[in-house]
């Protein structure tokens, strides 16, 4: 095993654990047989950051399972009251507080905070202006409230354009090597990957017939690399969340045998699945695509982004309802011994919890109001 960049022999001491699909995007395909630590520190950081920034909205919306770390809160437009935490959960952009002195001399405090720690901090700050405020007593009367947003929340999406391509190419190169490919066949790409030269080897690719066919609830990362001995072409296809789909020309003077390897990971279910790719491109067609002169990819990108939001919306809705039902059961029947016969009184508790949990959510969706 040698480093794909410097060709140094990899050992337990110098090998780096390289994510072939970015960890920040929920990638779980990784290997210690690709890069040494020294090369990994200088390899593709800017392009990886651009790719992560472009797709962080998708990773956060699905709250993808990372190998390590947590998904980010998505910053919405400045005029919005809420940002979006992973799983499309609204969080206040900033806390709100209002103090009113009542006729009897008491103070009425209305406050919305994102945590009990933040609420206590705000109260202590108010106490400097209103010494009569009893922070501990106020905290005892504080209530945790669940709100539902019925109005649309607007967010700004980043699109880093060609900045992401070195990261996409890196994914295809590393997958090819992981699945038995020869370093000699991709060696010419190393200066490009290190940012030492510019080349047209990657572009957006949205064919009429999809390379992989997915079911309604399948949102996936997919990679396919093809070596065509007859045409002497080695090329790859990378699909992230079904949104970004790119073609990569790995070698236009390929000298190896016929080769095809693929990988599909369902980021919603958190598991690898079997799919058969449908991709066979002619030499001229590959060259035309990676030159980036066609503009039809824009329609493809918009179409796939809309499809992602439709799929992700249904998945998030299902998760919300599952969470509600679990809380209903825990709050009503959870306090009783397991196996006990359900009484009319217990059913009444279930219905009361359903009214508390579900009705505000349905009303917010139907009426388009925040509750």
The pLDDT tens digits for 28-42 are 999 999 999 988 887
H/E segment holding residue 30: strand 30-36
- What is the mean predicted confidence (pLDDT) over 308-337? 87
Q: Are strands 15-19 and 30-36 parallel, antiparallel or unpaired?
A: antiparallel
Residue % of the chain over a pLDDT of 90: 46
What is the crossing angle of helices 165-178 and 45-62, to 10°?
90
The pLDDT tens digits for 191-224 are 999 889 999 999 999 999 999 999 988 999 999 9
In this prediction, residue 179 has a pLDDT band, given cuts at 50, 70 and 90, of very high
Q: What is the pLDDT of residue 71?
A: 76
Rounded CA-CA distance 67/60 in Å is: 14
The more confident residue out of 125 and 228 is 228
DSSP per-residue letters across 198-209: ----EEE---SS
Q: What is the pLDDT of residue 362?
A: 67
In this prediction, residue 131 has a pLDDT band, given cuts at 50, 70 and 90, of confident
Highest mean pLDDT out of 39-53, 138-152, 235-249, 315-329:
235-249
Q: What is the pLDDT of residue 186?
A: 96
Q: What is the pLDDT of residue 337?
A: 86
Cβ atoms 25, 64 nearer than 8 A:
yes
- What is the mean predicted confidence (pLDDT) over 121-128? 87
Rounded CA-CA distance 204/237 in Å is: 10
In this prediction, residue 255 has a pLDDT band, given cuts at 50, 70 and 90, of very high
- What is the mean predicted confidence (pLDDT) over 63-72? 79
Rounded CA-CA distance 10/3 in Å is: 6
In this prediction, residue 331 has a pLDDT band, given cuts at 50, 70 and 90, of confident
Which of 142-146, 320-324, 342-346, 350-354 is the least confident region?
142-146
365 has a pLDDT exceeding 80: no
Site of tokens 């980036």: 292
370 has a pLDDT exceeding 70: no
Cβ atoms 284, 252 nearer than 8 A:
no
């Amino acid at each position: 095993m040698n480093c794909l960049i410097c060709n140094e022999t990899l050992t337990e001491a110098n090998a780096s654990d390289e994510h072939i699909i970015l960890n920040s995007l929920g990638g779980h395909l990784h290997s210690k047989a690709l890069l040494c630590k020294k090369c990994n520190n200088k390899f593709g950081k800017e392009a990886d950051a651009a790719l992560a920034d472009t797709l962080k909205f998708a990773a956060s919306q699905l709250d993808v399972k990372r190998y390590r770390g947590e998904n980010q809160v998505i910053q919405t437009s400045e005029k919005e009251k809420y940002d979006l935490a992973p799983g499309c959960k609204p969080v206040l952009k900033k806390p709100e507080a209002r103090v009113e002195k009542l006729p009897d001399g008491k103070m009425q405090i209305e406050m919305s905070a994102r945590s009990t720690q933040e609420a206590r901090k705000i109260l202590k700050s108010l106490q400097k202006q209103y010494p009569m405020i009893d922070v501990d007593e106020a905290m005892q009367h504080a209530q945790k409230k669940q709100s539902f947003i019925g109005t649309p929340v607007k967010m700004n999406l980043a699109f880093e354009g060609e900045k992401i391509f070195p990261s996409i190419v890196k994914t295809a190169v590393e997958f090819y090597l992981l699945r038995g490919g020869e370093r000699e066949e991709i060696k010419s790409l190393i200066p490009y990957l290190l940012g030492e030269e510019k080349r047209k080897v990657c572009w957006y690719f949205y064919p009429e017939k999809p390379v992989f066919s997915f079911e309604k609830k399948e949102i996936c990362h997919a990679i396919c690399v093809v070596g065509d001995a007859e045409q002497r072409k080695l090329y790859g296809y990378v699909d992230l969340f079904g949104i970004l789909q790119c073609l990569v020309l790995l070698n236009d003077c390929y000298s190896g045998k016929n080769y095809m390897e693929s990988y599909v990971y369902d980021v919603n279910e958190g598991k690898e699945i079997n799919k058969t790719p449908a991709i066979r491109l002619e030499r001229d067609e590959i060259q035309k695509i990676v030159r980036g002169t066609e503009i039809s990819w824009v329609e493809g990108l918009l179409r796939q982004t809309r499809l992602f939001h439709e799929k992700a919306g249904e998945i998030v809705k299902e998760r919300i309802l599952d969470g509600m039902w679990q809380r209903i059961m825990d709050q009503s029947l959870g306090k009783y011994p397991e196996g006990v016969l359900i009484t009319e009184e217990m059913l009444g508790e279930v219905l009361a919890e359903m009214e508390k949990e579900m009705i505000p959510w349905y009303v917010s969706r139907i009426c388009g109001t925040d509750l």
